[in-house]
Amino acid sequence: MTRRPTLGADLASMRPAPLHTAIIAIRLLQKRGVPVSDLIAESGITESDLSRPDMIISHEQEMIVFANAQRLTGTDITGALIGKAIPITAYGVRGHAMLVAPTLRAAMSLGFSHPLLAISYFKISFHEIGSDAVFLLDGYAYRQDLRVFSSLMCLAAVQREILDSTRAPVEFIRAEFDFPQPDDHEELTRILGCPIVFNAQSTSLSIPKHYLDTELPFHHEIEFEIARGECARQEPMMAAWQPEHIVTRALQTLHRLDGRLDAHGLAAELGMSLRSMQRELSHAGLSFRTLLDQVRLARALDPLFQSGKFGPEAHSKMFGYSTKFAFERAKDRWTAKSKSKISG
């Protein structure tokens, strides 16, 4: 039997993210009048958790918060606002290492070589092209309904890292995005403060190359060596992360088994009684059904499924439904939670 490829949805359930970034996003939008309870809905994050920035959740839970933010604000531009609001210090030892690096080149090289500590949804690299330094974002493999939102958030976060590292004005030549111009593009231009090109071949941010050799104001040779070593130690620890939180474990388990579990089966996989599991999920504001719906939604929005390589019958079987009709009914329920059309 041919094993299916690993989905982006699987990876999102396995990759760790300190709650710090989600807290910044939640507090930013709370000040704009968005209810906290609505932002964390169905994520398994509770309001009391928001006082624990070091709590580890998964990329998937973080993206549920961002999907709520997208829906509640009605615009992908919210992603850029969030990215610009994340200080470099939010990245822990990685952020510290970047601040005390000798040059911007050294800072960004170190930062991009530790993607798990960066909590990045993209593969980020920079290239020297003529007189420009081009920061390239590619490799996005998560929910397609959040691709634009995530692209804006990540590029704005890179911009913030550059500004926080240099502590000086930087000329941003242009930002390029590989998707069409949104209706509220003028607001995006205001946030990023540079010319923007849409429908480009790739998503990138360009600055004059000479900034790469800028000596950083907080450079400290010894501190940089210590912090760089700590980054090298922590990155593999993040790769080997095993969740402790019940919701994170449940999501990861459901993805691993393609969502083909009932409540009793999930409780058994988690090594607890059904009643205990239900109590823990209820405390996090969830039920087994909402948890399973989130898993199936993430999988249905996965780029692999959105590519059209699988027909309706294959989709039905992959999601654990015996008939196409049952799958279609469930798909309608998921689609109500996403502005993106689910193919298949």
Query: Cβ of 198: how many Cβ atoms within 10 Å?
Result: 14
Task: Please spell the DSSP secondary structure of 294-323, one letter per residue.
Answer: HHHHHHHTSHHHHTT-S-HHHHHHHTT-SS
pLDDT digits (tens, 9 = 90+) for 204-220: 999 999 999 999 999 99
Confidence category of residue 331, pLDDT binned at 50, 70, 90: low
The model's pLDDT over 37-82, given as tens digits with 9 standing for 90+, comes to 999 999 999 999 999 998 999 999 999 999 999 999 999 999 999 9
d(CA 161, CA 287): 38
pLDDT tens figures, 273-321:
999 999 999 999 999 998 888 888 888 777 776 666 666 666 566 666 6
pLDDT-wise least confident of 80-84, 111-115, 119-123, 253-257: 253-257
Rounded mean pLDDT, 149-168: 97
CA of 313: how far to CAs of 177, 210, 298, 321, in Å? Answer: 35, 55, 19, 9
In the predicted structure, residue 342 carries a pLDDT above the cut 50: no
| pLDDT (0 to 100) of residue 326 | 65
Query: Residue 244's pLDDT is what?
Result: 85
Statement: residue 2 has pLDDT above 80: no
The answer to whether 120 and 151 have CB atoms below 8 angstroms apart is no
Provide the pLDDT for residue 318: 60
Please report which confidence band the pLDDT of residue 344 belongs to, taking 50, 70 and 90 as the band edges: very low
What pTM was estimated for this model as a whole?
A: 0.87
Report the pLDDT value the prediction gives residue 315, as an integer from 0 to 100: 59
pLDDT for residue 158 is more than 80: yes
Average pLDDT rounded to a whole number, residues 208-235: 96
Q: Given this model, what pLDDT does residue 273 score?
A: 94
More confident residue, 181 or 302: 181
Q: Is the pLDDT of residue 185 over 80?
A: yes
Q: Which domains does the chain have, with CATH numbers?
A: 92-239 (no CATH), 246-335 (1.10.10.60)
CA distance 85 to 22: 11
d(CA 23, CA 26): 5
Q: What is the pLDDT of residue 314?
A: 60
Look at 184 and 332; give whichever has higher pLDDT.
184
What gap in Å lies between CA 288 and CA 309, rounded to an integer? 30
Q: What pLDDT, on the 0 to 100 scale, is given for residue 332?
A: 65
pLDDT at 340 over 60: no
Contacts of 6 (CB under 8 A, 6+ apart): none
**Calpha distance 263→286 (Å, rounded):** 13
**DSSP label at residue 285:** T
Q: What is the mean pLDDT of the chain?
A: 89
Q: For residue 80, give the 3-state DSSP assignment.
A: helix
At 136 the pLDDT is 98
- What span, in angstroms and rounded, lies between the C-alpha atoms of 199 and 213? 31
Average pLDDT of the residues in 253-274: 90
- Contacts of residue 322, Cβ cutoff 8 Å, sequence gap at least 6: 316
Separation CA 144–CA 128 (nearest Å):
30
